[in-house]
Amino acid sequence: MLDTADGTAEVKSPVEALRNEDGVFEVSSPYGHVFQVTCHRGRMDVREINEPKPSNVPERILWRIRRLNRDVA
C-alpha cells in the first residue's frame, strides 16, 4: 500500500495502513506527534520521537506515513 513514488502516504488509520508492511516508518499524527514505527511480520513497535508544539486545531485530519527503511532485522 505504501509503494508511492516518494514513500509517503496520508491515511485515516495508520494501524490499518501498516498492518501488512515490513520496514521502518515515520508516522505523524494530525496533532503533531511523531512516531517511529517498526513493522515486521504483523508486529509493530512504536517509539515516540517528539511531542507536538501547542496549537488549537490541527491543520489536517489525516496521519502522514513516510517509509524510512524497508529492511528490518
Q: CA–CA separation, 26 vs 35, rounded Å?
A: 6
Query: Is 80 exceeded by the pLDDT of residue 6?
Result: no
pTM: 0.81
Number of residues assigned to the chain: 73
Give the residue ranges of DSSP H helices in the chain: 14-18
Which pLDDT score is estimated for 48?
94
Under a CB-based contact definition with an 8 Å cutoff, are residues 10 and 62 in contact? yes
CB atoms near residue 33 (< 10 Å)? 14
The domain locations on the chain are 8-69
Q: Which residues of 6-24 are buried (b: 16+ CB within 10 A; e: fewer)?
A: ebebebeebeebbeebebb
Condensed to tens digits (0 to 9), the pLDDT of residues 8-67 reads: 899 999 999 998 899 999 999 988 899 999 998 879 999 999 987 776 666 678 999 999
